[in-house]
Amino acid sequence: MADLPEDPAVETVWAEGALVRIRFRPDGHEGVFDRERLERWCRDDDALPYDPRTEDAKRLWPAGGGGAVRELAWAAYCDDDSAKAAALDGVLFDGAVLLTGVPARQRMVLDVARSLGFVRRTNYGELFDVRVEPNPTNLAFTSMSIAPHTDNPYRDPVPTVQLLHCLDNSAAGGRSGLVDGFRVAASLREQRPAAFAEMASTPVTFAFDSDDARLSATRPMIDVDLHGRVREIRFNERSMQPVRLPAGAVEQFYGAYRAFARLLRRPELQHRVRLAPGDCLVFDNTRMLHARTAFETGTGTRHLQGCYADLDGLASTLALLEGRRHV
C-alpha cells in the first residue's frame, strides 16, 4: 500500500471473455480480474459487510429449542464427507451438534476435536475430566447444578469451541442444557433495548485464580461489532468480578444484568438432553451457554471428558470439505 501512487484512477476497462482488464493511471499498470469473482464482491451500498461470526450469519433457535441441535452418528461422520460437513455446519450456523456413538473411551474427545480443527491447550491440559473431585477448583467438578454460562470468559482469546464427551452417566439427574445466547440477546434488544445497550457497552472483568493459573479478561457480556450485530456472549456469574462504575451507574447496570440473566434462565429457551455414554456435544462457546442439573452421587457416577478447539479451524475444515465435494 505504501508503494502505490497517491491518486490512482481507472483509465480504461475492457472485457475479454470471462476476464476484465483494467488499466490504471498514472503508471499504466494493468490488472486482470475474473468477472464472476468481481460480481460476487459487488454489493449494494446499504448492505453490511458479511461476518460469519455475527448473528446475521446464524440460524437463531426457535422458542423451546426444538430441532435446534442436529444429531449425527459418529460412524457416518467418519465415513461420509457430507455427514461430516453437516455436523460442522451445525456448529457454525446452529451453534451445536450432538455426535452419537463416539467410542466411550478415555481421551477419545481429543480425536473428535482433531477431526474438526485443532485442540486448544489450557492450564487444564489438552483435556479435562468433568466428574466429582474431593477438592474441586471449579463447580463443574462437583455434583451441584450449574446455571447457563459460557466457559473460560477470563481467557483472552476465549476458546470458541467446546466438546463434552460422555463416558458414564449412571447417576440420577445430571441432564445437560444449552441456551442460544444470540437468540436471548436478540430478545433482550427487542424487549428491553436500554438493558441490551447496557450489556453491550459496559466492560466487565472475569477472573480465575488457582495454584497453577491466574487469568483475567475484560469485555462486555454482549459483544457487538461496529454495526451493532451480536458477535460474542461472555456470561459466567461464578467468575465475574464486581463492576467498577460511577455510583449512579451501578444500579442501572445491575438492572440490565438481572434482565439478561432472567431471560437466559427461561426454561422454554433451553434445549435439554441426557447425555448417554458415547454422546459428544460440540458447541460454539462464544454463542451457546451450557448448563446441567444436579445429580446424586450415591446412585451412580457421571464422567464426561471435555476439551476446547476454535471456530477458525472448524471453518477451515468445512471449507476444505466443501471444496472437495464441489470438485
Q: Residue 269: give its domain's CATH number.
A: 3.60.130.10
Residues 107, 37 within the same domain: no
Residues 158, 220 within the same domain: yes
Q: Which residue has the higher pLDDT, 136 or 18?
A: 18
- Candidates 96, 97, 51; CA nearest to 77 is 97
Evaluate whether residue 170 is within a structural domain: yes
Residues 15, 82 within the same domain: no
Evaluate whether residue 2 is within a structural domain: no
Residues 168, 206 within the same domain: yes
Model confidence at 327: pLDDT above 60: no
pLDDT tens digits, one per residue of 90-124: 999 999 999 999 999 999 999 999 999 999 999 99
Evaluate whether residue 240 is within a structural domain: yes
Evaluate whether residue 49 is within a structural domain: no
Residues 275, 318 within the same domain: yes
Residues 241, 110 within the same domain: yes
pLDDT tens digits, one per residue of 182-234: 999 999 999 999 999 999 999 999 999 989 999 999 999 999 999 999 999 99
Q: Where in the sequence is the domain holding 14, given as residue range(s)?
A: 9-41
Residues 59, 35 within the same domain: no
Residues 102, 33 within the same domain: no
- CA dist., res. 91 & res. 53, Å (int): 12
Q: Answer whether the bond into residue 26 is a cis peptide, omega within 30°.
A: yes
Quickly tell me which residue has 468477472 as its cell.
35
Evaluate whether residue 47 is within a structural domain: no
- Candidates 195, 232, 228; CA nearest to 217 is 232
Q: What is the chain's Cα-based Rg? A: 23
pLDDT tens digits, one per residue of 29-65: 999 999 999 888 886 667 788 899 999 999 999 866 6
- Candidates 151, 216, 141; CA nearest to 181 is 151
